[in-house]
Structure 1
């Protein structure tokens, strides 16, 4: 493969995933045509053999890989091209059709599937024209360096071993995965009067955003006795006609809030497209995402594992830290990126620090008891169990938030970086902003911070904090504010505007 081809493919790397344009639009050309997908399939086969040491070259017992996709319009096309590459390389494929990212990982754990690896075709919450690939083996998801290796070896010429043509079989993975979730919920709820229908009497509204998560309403909740009337957008539709399937999106959360209140439901559940993220709304319409979601699962984890550590992404509230510590737990505030927080949690456990949860404010939540897999459906199942157990005392899951102080104001500004040297420009602005904060009155740099620059506010701004960091996936600087004093953020933004207006290489119009 030429260096030019390698560079073209390397541009498809998105951290520990692959993402690109799968459908042509007026402004965007396709970067994931069939021939590129096939090459990536060959690179994956090489990676399985050379890096994961699987017997891809075995003529007696071929390696088996599960392949599935979310509701995106390009999913079937990409799956077909990917299966052709894998079978050409001598790999047997289990085509699981519509599925979720967590379910694809579980295909490597279920004995009846006997898959050594799996691939999920998804681009999470991105617009319909995007798609991508996530890779798993039984030991977990691919890392950043694994994706780089796959793309570097993405060519038929890299398949040097003798092989037979692989075969393809079809299975319904979501059926197996749903049954597994039902079993876990039944096992977890000890107080149900009807053990086989432990959610009977609960009214739960699900918003799947037309992604792959509609099964959770019909195949999990309803079969456990829950009333799911008022659930919305359960049908897979890759146009995503109703709202962005993203539990970190204000419009999406407003939609599920409205559905809960209009249907007088006990709770609302919302998923992203491939169901590795989720969030809730309580019966009063309060959003339980971001810091609130972290608080709920932290409270559950600490009750089950006193003194445990919770790893979070960096942009979390000081109130959350106080909340976790008051419960007897510890917070490890790490850097943004779901693989980053998961790997930090795994590392802490290996070093002897008991760590139960790794969770980002975006809704990626991974529990030690569940392979440290960021699984939005398992997270909800865990909270449903706690909610049912608390009902004995007349409480519900939102009762866990009673001692979490809520900020008076929050805001976010996203500065587009306009230069070609995105990383360098971003780092330059962050360094300059750090120096600016050190000299500014009523702002103090927070030393316990590993990402960008974070400062605590005091004096005329009242109690609060701000943080600026690089976006992981876009050419942006993200500036987040949180304050316990009304109108303090507006004053702070006005006071720092002059600094940003002097910076080169960023668009300040959003400020």
Structure 2
């Protein structure tokens, strides 16, 4: 049996460490064989395959392709791409199968795959477990597929630009944190008419400055400082594979995703009154409040790109967004998460505003909140910890929303604990009416979490 830890097959993709007992060339070959079998069983005989710029991604990509071809899958190799470019390629090339070799925003030393079996559909938990079981039993189909190469970058940029209307000239900072998004962001925003100041847009898989993760403070604080230093109107930060967006205003202040999603929601609702907008369990109460105020229908759902895409399809929603910076447009687009398209749409919205970004943001409702906080645990224990905490909060008579972890409400705010799908960590976030209330809620959670020996006492919001 191939050595593949079951814990690498997560809620909505597969991620593990680059190591002899986790991800390596041989294990990636078996991923290709397992997923190729999964596709063939569903009558899918073609797959688009691309990879990010991590040090191991090119060789992992080659071994995945080898496995797919030996199953009889015909492969279109699109080379180095952002994750959204892979989703887009399925539509452009009219192909249902997709493999993107990427660990997204994870630190150096990790890699993985995002797997798709239909347009705007990436595999969910049960699908991934089926792929794992195929690999564990080596129950592979055999065939002889073909391979051809396609370069999609130019067509991708032209399509996105054709779907947005930016009528002002902005001076913007672009920070891709040495990740893969550097292949597209500077050029596409120049074509959109922006004056672009580049920051860490050269690709370096060692991530010499920090992990390219706009969900953390390290990348966002640096983006803010550079935006002010270069006298830009705003700054964009993109994660390692280009599907998460960070935003700072002209004063260098981080505008966390649940605040800028308010602006995007207003844009969507101006074109489609009454539209449904989906968001995950980590967002501020201000977001559903503003959606309702502008005539929309807010829907809370599970965190995770695969979960959100499936819910969008079910609800026929116009848009969705996550606190992590994933933003999904069905209006004017295809229904998958693309940080580049979200950034272009923000510029479209701001084109129609007279105020600066900080002035526009000042019109949105606001509560005191924390960024996303990561607490180390183990992949083996994290779900059980969350389950026990959820039950304990319910026994203590708190109002608990448990569609994805536990979002626990107090009289003056709320706190969230959930298990990360991507890493052996717990994810926390807190919001309240005052700083004092915020600290009280955090203490409630800290006291409960400290009882678990497998949970670290250190709380980290840096994004590393």
Q: Tell me if both proteins adopt one fold, taking TM over 0.5 as the criterion.
A: yes
Q: For residue 155 of structure 1, report the CA deviation from its aligned partner.
A: 7.9
Q: For residue 100 of structure 1, report the CA deviation from its aligned partner.
A: 0.9
Question: Aligned to 2:281, which of 314, 319, 333?
Answer: 314
Give unmatched runs, 5+ long, in structure 2.
Answer: 460-464
| Distance change in 2, residues 1:49/1:325 (3 Å) | same
| Distance change in 2, residues 1:95/1:403 (3 Å) | same
Give the match's secondary structure for 1:255.
helix
Report the TM-score, using the length of structure 1 for normalisation.
Answer: 0.81
Q: Tell me whether 1:211 sits opposite 2:159 in the alignment.
A: no
Question: Per chain length, whose mean CA-contact separation is higher, i.e. which structure has more relative contact order (CA < 8 Å, sep 6+)?
Answer: 2
Do the aligned partners of 1:105 and 1:137 also contact (CA within 8 Å) in 2?
no
Q: For residue 254 of structure 1, report the CA deviation from its aligned partner.
A: 0.7
Aligned length: 457
Q: Give 1 or 2 for the bigger CA radius of gyration.
A: 1
Q: Tell me whether 1:173 sits opposite 2:152 in the alignment.
A: yes
Do the aligned partners of 1:313 and 1:333 also contact (CA within 8 Å) in 2?
yes
Do the aligned partners of 2:329 and 2:337 also contact (CA within 8 Å) in 1?
yes
**Distance in 2, Cα, partners of 1:105 & 1:504:** 40
Cα RMSD (Å): 2.7
| Distance change in 2, residues 1:318/1:159 (3 Å) | closer
**Distance in 2, Cα, partners of 1:236 & 1:487:** 43
Do the aligned partners of 1:410 and 1:483 also contact (CA within 8 Å) in 2?
no
**Distance in 1, Cα, partners of 2:415 & 2:251:** 29
Q: For residue 304 of structure 1, report the CA deviation from its aligned partner.
A: 1.4
Matched residue, 2:129? 148
Give unmatched runs, 5+ long, in structure 1.
Answer: 57-62, 193-198, 350-354, 439-444
Aligned ranges for residues 88-487 of structure 1 at < 5 Å? 88-110=70-92, 113-139=93-119, 140-154=121-135, 158-161=139-142, 163-164=143-144, 166-185=145-164, 188-189=165-166, 192=167, 201-229=169-197, 231-349=198-316, 355-369=317-331, 370-388=333-351, 390-391=352-353, 394-395=354-355, 400-410=360-370, 416-417=376-377, 421-436=381-396, 438=397, 445-446=398-399, 450-458=403-411, 463-487=412-436
**Distance in 2, Cα, partners of 1:90 & 1:40:** 14
Which range is displaced more, 487-496 or 337-346? 487-496
Q: For residue 433 of structure 1, report the CA deviation from its aligned partner.
A: 2.9
Residues 37-68 of structure 1: CA distance to partner in whole angstroms, max 9, x if unpaired? Answer: 111111222111112x22x3xxxxxx3x3221
Report the TM-score, using the length of structure 2 for normalisation.
Answer: 0.89
Matched residue, 1:59? none
Give the match's secondary structure for 1:298.
helix
Do the aligned partners of 2:49 and 2:86 also contact (CA within 8 Å) in 1?
yes
Give the match's secondary structure for 1:288.
coil
Q: For residue 103 of structure 1, report the CA deviation from its aligned partner.
A: 0.8
Q: For residue 84 of structure 1, report the CA deviation from its aligned partner.
A: 2.0
Residues 286-340 of structure 1: CA distance to partner in whole angstroms, max 9, x if unpaired? Answer: 3222321221211111111111121111122222222221111121122222222
Matched residue, 2:24? 33
